[in-house]
């Protein structure tokens, strides 16, 4: 069954707890938390304190995505705050293997993300050190973008290569395109606007879980 991870980036910033609880009550499997440093992407959000406070009220895992130039400096602080899944980007370079190993040694799942324009070859050397590959289906940094369907083939190729970890997609995912992603091998769908604006998020989540 597909896991649904509502992104708090789509929540009302003045009512994060209310909206997080609403998504959990609707059947969310994970909560997705984007952390942006205004360098790696042209936006700024959220802090370790946000993760810590969400951890206090969330019975579901926190899926923390570090869109940062230097995530290695912040791994411990986000793990201490309660990240259950911690994802870094392959585009940053540096000691990616060492960072992935550190995340796993701390007891969290290690994720590696790639932007839509980054070839799959960039993550291949690290597949054995990851629990999750995040294929961005929009340019990271802002919500509300349209899904780039070319990313479907990255998902299919990962499965063709025998990758058995979680494959996650983030960006522009809606009820009318999720089935095409799951058919390629997607196991975790990050959703924002479509869920938060739904009249009945629980009914939508139930339908999504059947895909």
Residues forming the active site: 34, 170
How many CB atoms lie under 10 A from the CB of residue 139?
A: 14
Q: E-assigned strands of the chain?
A: 3-6, 31-37, 44-45, 62-67, 85-89, 109-114, 132-136, 166-170, 188-191
Task: Give the burial class of 160: count Cβ atoms within 10 A of its Cβ; 0-12 exposed, 13-18 middle, 19 or more buried.
Answer: exposed
Nearest to 175 by CA among 141, 209, 140: 209
Query: Please, are residues 137 and 148 in contact by the beta-carbon 8 Å criterion?
Result: yes
Q: For the residues of 190-203, what is the DSSP string, one character each?
A: EE-HHHHT-S-HHH
According to DSSP, the residues that pair with 109 across neighbouring strands are: 85
């Amino acid at each position: 069954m597909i896991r649904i991870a509502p992104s708090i980036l789509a929540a009302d910033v003045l009512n994060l707890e209310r909206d997080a609880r609403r998504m959990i009550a609707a059947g969310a499997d994970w909560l997705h938390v984007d952390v942006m440093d205004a360098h790696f992407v042209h936006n700024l959000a959220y802090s370790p304190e946000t993760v810590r406070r969400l951890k206090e009220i969330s019975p579901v895992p926190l899926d923390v995505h570090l869109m940062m130039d230097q995530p290695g400096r912040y791994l411990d602080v986000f793990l201490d705050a309660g990240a259950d899944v911690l994802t870094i980007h392959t585009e940053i370079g540096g000691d990616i293997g060492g960072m992935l190993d550190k995340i796993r040694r701390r007891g969290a799942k290690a994720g590696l993300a790639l932007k839509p324009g980054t070839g799959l070859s960039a993550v291949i050397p690290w597949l054995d050190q990851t629990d999750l590959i995040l294929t961005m289906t929009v340019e990271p940094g802002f919500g509300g973008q349209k899904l780039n369907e070319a990313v479907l083939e990255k998902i299919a190729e990962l499965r063709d290569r025998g990758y058995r970890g979680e494959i996650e997609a983030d960006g522009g995912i809606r009820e009318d395109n999720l089935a095409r992603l799951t058919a390629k091998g997607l196991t975790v769908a990050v959703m924002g606007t479509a869920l938060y604006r739904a009249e009945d998020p629980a009914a939508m989540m139930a339908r999504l879980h059947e895909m």
